[in-house]
Amino acid sequence: MRHFGFIILAAVLFASCKAKKNVYMYSSFHEPANEGLRLLYSFDAYHWTDLNHIFIKPEVGTEKIMRDASICQGPDGIFRLVWTTGWKNDQSIGYASSPDLIHWSKEEHIPVMAYEPTAINAWAPELFYDDEGKQFVIVFASCVPGRFAKGQEDENNNHRLYYTTTTDFKTFAPTKLFLDPGFSVIDATIVQRGRNDYVLVMKDNTRPERDIKVGFSKNVLGPYTNISKPVAPLFSEGPSVAHAGNDWLIYYDAYRDKKFGAVKTQDFVTFTDATGEINIPQGHKHGTIFKVSKKVLDNLKQQIAN
């Protein structure tokens, strides 16, 4: 009887732990990006299931699209969402918030590059919560023609990274240059490995590069140095990072092949191809990977079922 009771107790504890286990979520969209936010989920960061639902439709911007959706849950439990609202002639980014990824606030159009009248765009905003500075950091790419040295790419495609910070998404610090690595750069993701230990994963958007590289800093706002050689193949963009066990998985959008690829690393110095280990449903495009509680996922499934 004692043995039987132990088995029951172990089963209850296992079920309890499983219920509290965090779930990986991947924000996504389908081309031509006019439908809205999609979500996928995974329990191991390798195999993904499509929730097959539109959670918020784009309503702001010059083209009213929702690309490059980045979601970050703050210490208050609220999910914040930022996204690209237009390809060009749009100096703002989209913003909305939600307590549960189901019910969303009114969409806003934040003029992050309005201070630069010749800025062409504001692409791929990425949210990061800086727990040391107690603030949200928004990093995005923008092109200001004639501002920086360029390679083979057109002057209107010569991007650099910019950023702003906020604590409440009502007031924002003046936008500043985040990174000029000496080449056109977009699609930046900040990874924190520990205190004063940050990695920036980005796309080198120059011709003929167009691949993923990483840089390192002791401060979330940089400077990021020791920019690596390419860690992913040619024609890769939209990197998203998941920490799974001892490995860091860098997902990338292999946009020429219309599929996802991945590399994994433990030190961001040595990388191995993990494309054969991942599984993402076709049709999805890059966003960001974040974690939620199992309860959040269950509520999403229930909402869809109803």
What are the pLDDT digits (tens) for 39-59? 999 999 999 999 999 999 999
pLDDT higher than 80, residue 15 = no
Would 229 be classed as within a structural domain? yes
Q: What is the mean pLDDT of the segment spanning 258-263? A: 96
Residue 217 has pLDDT above 60, yes or no: yes
* Proportion of the chain above pLDDT 70, given as a percent: 93
Residues near 60 by Cβ (< 8 Å), separated by ≥ 6?
Answer: 85, 92, 94, 107, 108, 109
Q: Measure the CA–CA gap between 245 and 44, rounded to whole angstroms.
A: 9
In 34-173 the beta strands, taken as DSSP E runs, fall at 38-42, 49-50, 67-73, 79-84, 93-98, 108-110, 123-130, 135-143, 159-166
Domain region containing 288 = 23-305
Is 290 a domain residue?
A: yes
Mean pLDDT of the chain: 93
pLDDT, position 186: 98
Domain for residue 75, yes or no?
Answer: yes
Mean of the pLDDT values across residues 100-112? 98
Q: What is the CATH number of the domain that holds 298?
A: 2.115.10.20
Residue 5: both structure tokens together: 């009771």
pLDDT at 152: 87
The reported pTM is 0.92
> Does some domain include residue 222?
yes
Q: Do the domain assignments include residue 116?
A: yes
Q: Is residue 8 part of a domain?
A: no
Flag whether 1 is in a domain: no
Q: Is residue 10 part of a domain?
A: no
Give percent of the chain above pLDDT 90.
91
**What is the spatial distance between Cα 45 and Cα 26, in angstroms, rounded to a whole number?**
9
- Count structural domains, the chain: 1
pLDDT value of residue 274 = 98
* Tens digits of residue pLDDT in 143-171: 999 999 988 889 999 999 999 999 999 99
Residue in 37, 62, 66, 67 with CA at minimum distance from that of residue 52: 37
